Amino acid sequence: MIEIDDVPDLVDPVVIAAFEGWNDAADGASSVIDHLMTVWGGRVVAALDPEDFYDFQVNRPIVGTDARGHRSITWPSTQIAVASPPGLDRDVILVRGIEPNLRWRQFCAELLATIDDLGGQLVVTLGALLADTPHTRPIPVSGTATEPDLVDRLKLETSSYEGPTGIVGVFQDACGKLDIPAVSYWAAVPHYVAQPPCPKATLALLGQLEDLLEVSIPLGDLPEDAKAWERGVDELAEEDEDVADYVRSLEETRDTADLPEASGEAIAREFERYLRRRGEGGPL
């Protein structure tokens, strides 16, 4: 059992979860939780016991110095936080952790039991994967859901992927088996710039959350960080003609595939986000 700090009754809470590791190319997904913890003032209320789920020779504890100057050890774990975002008529449960090395089914069961204790109504998992996509174009985000009405309402798709999966896939499956509504968003990170961070991927996932929650999320320095990241990759590509040619071929493929969408739903979604920010006094 996970011990939970005293938490007042939450209002129709939605769960947003991300895990470091195989599901988190360039830290694109876990960085979303870090950002939301900051801008929404998240408060950690529970953590899973790392002894049950982590191989400490794979995910080693970190030794450091705390605020009082004492040496301390931080163990790998998965933390659960709560937040009450301004402008949103429901609370949020934020889950940020590391993909476990052991007992994945038990891990999911304990996590979902805690979410149930906190009253979670909808689970949103975030992931990031490496893909053949150019850094110069918007980061593609794919979405799936466990229930047909969510698929229809959010205009998602039923996943047809077959192959190895990570804790995000297992957690999504566990939600489905317990009839917990769940949505999963995945950002596609250019595989030739796989090293973290990738603020452009984080920004793309935040955009999907804004659409889902119908709220404007403060973005802080992320837009400028994303532009700086893109400029930096431009400079690297210019130094290698083979890379530059490869990027151009990816751009041509992407532009051809995106022509129908560019004139329809994608533009409409961006315009809706603009109107929300304008209506809430956010930056134009």
Direct distance between the N- and C-terminal alpha carbons of the chain, in angstroms, rounded to an integer: 46
Compute CA distances 64 → 67, 74, 77, whole Å.
Answer: 10, 8, 16
Whether 106 contacts 28, CB under 8 Å:
no
State how far the Cα of 243 lies from the Cα of 241, in Å rounded to an integer: 5
State pTM to two decimals: 0.88
pLDDT tens string 215-264:
999 999 999 999 999 999 999 888 888 889 999 999 988 888 766 555 45
pLDDT tens string 72-112:
999 999 999 999 999 999 999 999 999 999 999 999 999 99
CA-derived radius of gyration, the chain: 19
For β-strands 71-74 and 62-65, DSSP reports them as antiparallel
State how far the Cα of 97 lies from the Cα of 215, in Å rounded to an integer: 25
